[in-house]
C-alpha cells in the first residue's frame, strides 16, 4: 500500500510539473541567412515584455568558447549576467543556442530591456528567416556594438532596426509567471510523497 501511495504521489508531482510554465527563448529563428565571425561585438537585441515573465536563463548563439551575456534595464542597470559555455545545454526550435540558468528575475511591461553577449570572433548571425518570439516578448531592435577588447558592456552605440532579420549573439530564456494553483498543486504532491515515503512506526 505504501509503495502504491508513493507511486501515485510521484505521478501527481510529475503531472503538476507538466502543468507549470516551461522555459523558452525570448527570440528565436529557423534559418540563419548570414553567419559572421570577423569582429568582436556585443551582440543582442532590445525588447519589452507584454506581460510579466520570469527571466530564468541567458543564452548565447552556438558558442565554441566561454561567452559572457547580460540583461540591462533602464539607466543601464544590470539585471542579470552569466557565462555560457560550449557544454551547456542547447535550447530553441533548431537548438542554435546554448544556455545557463540564472536566479529568476521578474520582467515587467513598460520597461525597455537589452540583452547582449560577447562574440569574441566567434559566430554571430545577422539577417535571419523565420524570426519569432515568445508570446510575451516584443522584439524591438538588433544590437551590434563593436567591442575589440572583448569585454561585455552595455550596448548603446549602434542599434540596427531590422524587423525581419535581427542580429544574434546573446538571448534571454523566459517562462510565464507560475499560477498560484500550479504551485499549490505541486506543493501538495511533494507533501504526499514525503508522507508516504516516511518510515512508519508500528505499534
Residue 85, pLDDT score? 96
| 64 touches 185 (CB < 8 A) | no
| 108 touches 49 (CB < 8 A) | yes
Q: Count Cβ atoms below 10 Å from residue 177 Cβ, excluding itself.
A: 15
In whole angstroms, what is the distance from residue 99 CA to residue 102 CA?
10
Q: Give the CA diameter of the chain.
A: 75
What are the grid coordinates assigned to 31, written together? Answer: 534559418
Percent of the chain clearing pLDDT 90 (strictly above): 44
Is pTM beyond 0.85? Reply is no
pLDDT, one tens digit for every residue, the chain (203 residues)? 455 544 444 443 333 434 466 899 999 988 888 787 767 888 889 999 999 999 999 999 888 899 999 999 999 999 999 999 999 999 999 999 999 999 999 999 999 999 999 988 787 777 788 888 999 999 988 888 888 888 899 987 655 544 446 678 899 999 997 644 443 444 444 454 445 455 554 55
Q: Count Cβ atoms below 10 Å from residue 114 Cβ, excluding itself.
A: 23
Q: What is the pLDDT of residues 136-173, one digit of tens each?
A: 999 988 888 888 888 899 987 655 544 446 678 899 99
**What are the residue boundaries of the structural domains of the chain, listed by start?**
1-20+178-203, 22-177
For residue 186, the SS3 value is: helix
Residue 7, pLDDT score? 42
In whole angstroms, what is the distance from residue 16 CA to residue 32 CA?
36
What are the grid coordinates assigned to 126, written together? Answer: 545577422
In whole angstroms, what is the distance from residue 80 CA to residue 21 CA?
20
Q: In which region does residue 42 sit, left (phi positive, over 0), alpha (psi from -120 to 50) or beta (all else)?
A: beta
- What is the CATH superfamily name and number for domain 22-177? PHR domain (2.60.120.820)
Amino acid at each position: 500500500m505504501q509503495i502504491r501511495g508513493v507511486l501515485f504521489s510521484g505521478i501527481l508531482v510529475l503531472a503538476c510539473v507538466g502543468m507549470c510554465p516551461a522555459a523558452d527563448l525570448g527570440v528565436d529563428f529557423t534559418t540563419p541567412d548570414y553567419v559572421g565571425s570577423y569582429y568582436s561585438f556585443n551582440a543582442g537585441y532590445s525588447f519589452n515584455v507584454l506581460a510579466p515573465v520570469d527571466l530564468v536563463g541567458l543564452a548565447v548563439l552556438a558558442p565554441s568558447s566561454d561567452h559572457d551575456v547580460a540583461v540591462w534595464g533602464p539607466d543601464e542597470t544590470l539585471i542579470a549576467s552569466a557565462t555560457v559555455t560550449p557544454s551547456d545545454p542547447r535550447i530553441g526550435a533548431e537548438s542554435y543556442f546554448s544556455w545557463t540558468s540564472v536566479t529568476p528575475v521578474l520582467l515587467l511591461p513598460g520597461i525597455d530591456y537589452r540583452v547582449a553577449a560577447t562574440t569574441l570572433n566567434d559566430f554571430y548571425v545577422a539577417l535571419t528567416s523565420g524570426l519569432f518570439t515568445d508570446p510575451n516578448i516584443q522584439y524591438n531592435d538588433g544590437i551590434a556594438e563593436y567591442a575589440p577588447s572583448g569585454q561585455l558592456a552595455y550596448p548603446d552605440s549602434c542599434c540596427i532596426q531590422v524587423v525581419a532579420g535581427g542580429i544574434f549573439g546573446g538571448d534571454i530564456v523566459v517562462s510565464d509567471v507560475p499560477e498560484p494553483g500550479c504551485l499549490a498543486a505541486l506543493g501538495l504532491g511533494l507533501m504526499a510523497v514525503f508522507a508516504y515515503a516516511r518510515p512508519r512506526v508500528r505499534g
